[in-house]
Amino acid sequence: MWGIEQSEIRAMAQARCNTAYLPEASFPDALQVTTNLDEALASAEDVLIVVPSHAFRETLQRLKSSSLPLKHLAWATKGFETKTGKLPHQIATEVLGPNLQTAVISGPTFAAEVAAGLPSAVSIASTDKENAQRLAEAISTDTFRAYIAEDIIGVEVGGATKNVLAIGAGISDGLGFGANTRSFLVTRGLMEMTRLGLALGARKDTFMGLSGMGDLVLTCTDDQSRNRRFGLGLAKGAAADEVRKAIGQVVEGFYAASAVFSVAQRLRVEMPIVEQIYKVIYEGVSPREAVTTLMRRPLTPE
């Protein structure tokens, strides 16, 4: 099921924790581990999907084929669909229809810190304010705060694009370029993210919030980020597949680099940092050559 081995499911059920990735965080007593979708959804009013972007459509298709009615759907999946360039909300509408109440949850959160009870915050975006408010109240605690928003496109674009830019920050730090360069990449990366979002119909202010600048800063500056670690590995000269294997978890930025670059090309949105990261991963351009290309671009107003 979604690439999870049955042995892993049994181990989680027995140990009452995610033994592979978060062994220090015990499951709540009410949480049950199952591979039976109908069993998992029985009597559920809300469904939250948290799968990698490349598994999102398949998950929705399984939901559609289930025997249970679906009332409210939310997801924390981040990324464009690689083949189509569609955002998660577009895929949800395509698979499940336009009448379902939906929401997207995104923001600067590392799972280990949330599980440890360290103060964290996210955005919940929905076209239905009452739906967003209801979800925010349901998941907020003394250490976890949810803010509501209406800009689903902006929240999704931020969540997808920041993973690519975090690879760039990892490459920069891996090459020893220092804090100045990292700050340059984060700041100009935020501009690229905003340009892409606006071209897709997002609101500019969204990218100054948790799901934009907040998530970008987090993933670009801390080694808990798999995307940043992926960039560090590329800077050492390792091949992309080699670094992904060493990390041992899904590196969303690997897929997002291709998808974001393709969408930007289609919309004629200038994203030079994303373009160079794409070329490092998929065209064999060396990290140093990519940085040189960025620095030699024609001078323009900020």
**3-state SS class at 23:** strand
* pLDDT tens digit sequence for 184-206: 999 999 999 999 999 999 999 99
* pLDDT tens digit sequence for 69-85: 888 999 999 999 999 99
pLDDT of residue 5: 66
Ranges of the chain with pLDDT below 70: 1-5
pLDDT of residue 42: 85
Q: Say how many C-beta atoms besides its own lie within 10 A of residue 136's C-beta.
A: 19
Q: Is the dihedral of CA 147, 254, 85, 197 positive or negative?
A: positive
pLDDT of residue 287: 97
Q: Which residue in the list 162, 236, 245, 279 is annotated as catalytic?
A: 162
Q: Say how many C-beta atoms besides its own lie within 10 A of residue 122's C-beta.
A: 24
**3-state SS class at 187:** helix
Can 162 be counted among the known catalytic residues? yes
- List of domains in the chain: 6-152 (3.40.50.720), 153-295 (1.10.1040.10)
pLDDT of residue 1: 44
Q: Residues 196, 271: contact at Cβ < 8 Å?
A: yes
pLDDT of residue 255: 96
**Phi–psi pair at 75, nearest 5 degrees:** -145, 150
**3-state SS class at 75:** strand
pLDDT of residue 192: 98
The whole-angstrom separation of Cα 140 and Cα 230 is 32
- Does pTM surpass 0.75? yes
pLDDT of residue 34: 87
